[in-house]
Structure 1
C-alpha cells in the first residue's frame, strides 16, 4: 500500500493573502506556516511521499529551499481537493492520497495515521476525515468566533458507522445550552485533513459545485451532494491542542499552543 500526502498551498487567499509564508514563532524559532505544515506531514508514519502543491512561484521557491518536493498546479483549482486531484494526475500509482491542509501545522501525526487506517477498513467510503470531540471551552471558542464575524473551526455531524451527515462553519448540532469549559459536549470539531481513494479524487473536479458547498465554502460537501460516503474517523487529542490558521488573529493562538506543547515535553 502506497500513501501520498499532498499539502495544497495558495498565496492568493481571499481571507488571508500570503498565508503560507506567514512566520510562526515556536520553541524552535521562526518558521513559515507552510514549513511547519510540511514538517507535520513528514512526521506521519507509513507515508511514501510528501509534496507541496502550489500555483505560486514564491511558495514553490520557499518550499524547495527547505527541502520539500514541489508539484506545480494550475491557478484554476477552486480548493485544496481540486489541487490534490491535479497532483494525482501528475503522480499516479498511490493507493491513498492524503490532503493535509497547509494551514494546520498542529496536526498530530496519529490523526493522519488513524485516518488512513479508517479509510482502508471501510471499502464503501470514498473519503475519510477526522473529527475531534469538543469540550465546553472549544465550543465557546467556536461561538465567540461566530459572534465576532470570524471564520472559525468547522463542525461535523455523523450517523451510524461514522457516515457524515453534514459539515458546517456554524456550530452544529444546536444544543440550546451553555457548557462549562471542562464539560463533554455533542459537538465535534472537523479537522481539515482528508484521505481519498484516488478514483474518487480524480472524479471530484468533474462534479459541479453544489449549493451547499457554495454557501458554506466547504469543499467536502461536494462529496455529500454527490451521494458519496464520507467517513468521519474520531481521533483523540491525547492532551494536544489543535487549531487551524484561518485569520491573522490565529497566529498568536497557534504560537501559544506550540509554546505550551514544548513546556509539556520538558
Structure 2
C-alpha cells in the first residue's frame, strides 16, 4: 500500500499573506512541515501542492518536491486532490495542514494505520477535550463518534448537549472530543469528494467534512494524545515557537 502526503500551500492568505514562507527559528514554515512529515514511517512520498511560484521555488531550494496546481481551488482538499491525480500508483493520500510546523510524525502514522481496515475510505484524528475553554470555543470543532470510532457529527457547538447538568460539570460527566484537522483518504475517494456539491450542513457550520457525511460517506477517527498547534495569524508565531523551543 503506497501512502503519499500532500501539503497544500497558498500564498494569498487573507489573515496572514505569505504564511508558508515565514521564518520559524531559522527555517520556513513549509520546510518545517515538509521535514516533519517526511519523518513519518508510513509515508513513501511528500509533495507540496501550490499555485504560487515563490512557494514552489523555495520548496525546490530546500530539496522538496512540488506540484503546481490551479489558482481556482477554494479548499485545501481540492488542491490536494489535483496533486493526487499525478500519483496513479498511490493508494492512500494524507492531507497535511501546511500551517503546523511541529506536526508529530506519530500522528500521521496513527492516521494511516486506520486503512489497515479495508472498509475505511476517509480517516481523521480526534483528541479528548481537557478544559472548558476548548469545550465552549466555537472556533474548535467538536465531534461525536460511534462505538467503532466513526464520526457521527462535527459541530462548532458543544456536542452532545447535556440537558440535565450544569455546563460547569459537563467535562466530569461526559467524554468530549475535538477534531484535529488532518485527513487521509483512499485516492479514489478523494477524487470523488471533490465532485460533491456543497451541502446544507456544511454551509451552516462552515465545516467541509459535513459535506462528506451528508452525502453518505463514513469517516473513521483515531484518538491522538497530541494537540495541534496551527499558525493562523502573525501573533501565533512566537506562541508556537515557545511551545516547541526544545525541538528547534
Tell me the TM-score normalized by structure 2. 0.89
Say if 2:148 is the partner of 1:161.
yes
Distance 1:115 1:174 in 2: 28
Partners of 1:77 and 1:170 lie apart in 2 by 28
CA contact (8 A) 1:20 1:59 kept: yes
The answer on 1:33 being equivalent to 2:36 is: no
Number of residues of Structure 1 aligned to a counterpart in Structure 2: 245
Unaligned ranges ≥5, structure 2:
none
2:48 counterpart (52, 57, 61):
52
Summarize the Cα distance change of 1:234–1:217 in structure 2 as closer, same or farther, 3 Å threshold: same
Partner of 1:6: 6
SS at match of 1:77: coil
For residues 170 and 90 of structure 1, do their structure 2 counterparts lie closer, same or farther at Cα, with a shift above 3 Å needed? same
Which of 80, 84, 88 matches 1:88? Answer: 84
* More displaced stretch, 49-58 vs 153-162: 153-162
- Taking the aligned partners of 1:31 and 1:213, their CA distance within structure 2 comes to 36
TM-score, normalization by structure 1: 0.83
Maintained 8 Å contact 2:93/2:185: yes
- Gaps (5+ residues) in structure 1? 147-151
Residue number among 168, 173, 178 corresponding to 1:178 in the alignment:
168
SS of equivalent to 1:178: helix
Alignment check: 8 A CA contact 1:119 1:231 kept: no
Q: 1:133 aligns with which of 124, 128, 131?
A: 128
Measure how far apart 1:180 and its partner are: 11
Deviation at 1:154, TM superposition (A): 2.7
Q: Deviations over 1:124-160 (max 9, x none)?
A: 3220001111212xx41564x65xxxxx433222122
The alpha carbon displacement at 1:105 in A equals 2.1
Instruction: Please say if 1:231 is aligned against 2:220.
Output: yes
Give the SS at the match of 2:60.
helix
1:112–1:22 Cα change, 3 Å: same
Equivalent-residue separation in structure 2 for 1:184 and 1:98 (angstroms) = 34
CA 1:214/1:13 → structure 2, altered by over 3 Å: closer, same or farther?
Answer: farther
Instruction: Give the Cα separation in 2 of the matches to 1:83 and 1:191.
Output: 19
The 1:142–1:55 alpha-carbon spacing in structure 2 relative to 1, beyond 3 Å, is farther
